[in-house]
Amino acid sequence: MNKMTMIGNLTRDPELRSVNTASGPVSVCDFTVAANGRRRGQNNDQGQQDDTVFIRCTAWRGLADVISRYASKGKKVYVAGPLSARTYQANDGSTRVSLEVTVEDFEFCSARGEEAGGSTGAYSAPAAPVQPSPTAQNDGFTAAVADDLPF
């Protein structure tokens, strides 16, 4: 099974584009997530050092629309999906490898109001937009759901 799961911050605003297919245009959203990891230093007395990994992510269809509308640079997100590696030639002529995730599951981890337009929630692909009721129940507490959300 090939499934990458990570939590990190968006390095830039997501880019939405449209791809023409035989069944019509399809939305595609590209973004990059920076995930911090921990690794031991060469000597035990050095402790741990941060090790940041940058992963390109691609979401399709309705999930792409939601991400492009509500996500922005700096937001903390959870992303899961199959991981693939792609090689390419850099400007200096060297061969490099880019890791990419095709997003199947996505969740905003930033608390509401932490950043402008903040929103929390989990989204999975493929997902058909569903209109929620005006309120949602959670362990006896009632939380208002934004009316402009497409799900």
pLDDT by position in tens, the chain (length 151): 899 999 999 999 999 999 999 999 999 999 999 998 766 655 555 556 668 889 999 999 999 999 999 999 999 999 999 999 989 999 999 999 888 999 999 999 976 655 544 444 554 554 444 333 344 443 333 333 334 434 3
Half-sphere exposure of 76 (CA within 13 A, CB side): 9
List of domains in the chain: 4-144 (2.40.50.140)
Beta strands 48-60 and 83-89 are: unpaired
What's the rounded Cα separation, in Å, for the pair 126 and 116? Answer: 27
What's the rounded Cα separation, in Å, for the pair 131 and 88? Answer: 42
For 105-143, give one letter per residue: b (16+ CB within 10 A) or e.
Answer: bbebebeeeeeeeebeeebebebeeeeeeeeeeeeeeee
Angle 136-142-145 (CA atoms, 0-180°, nearest 5)? Answer: 45
Position 95 scores a pLDDT of 94
In this prediction the pTM is 0.66
Question: Cβ distance 57 to 45 under 8 Å?
Answer: no
What's the rounded Cα separation, in Å, for the pair 116 and 75? Answer: 10
Q: Which DSSP helix (H) or strand (E) runs through 83?
A: strand 83-89
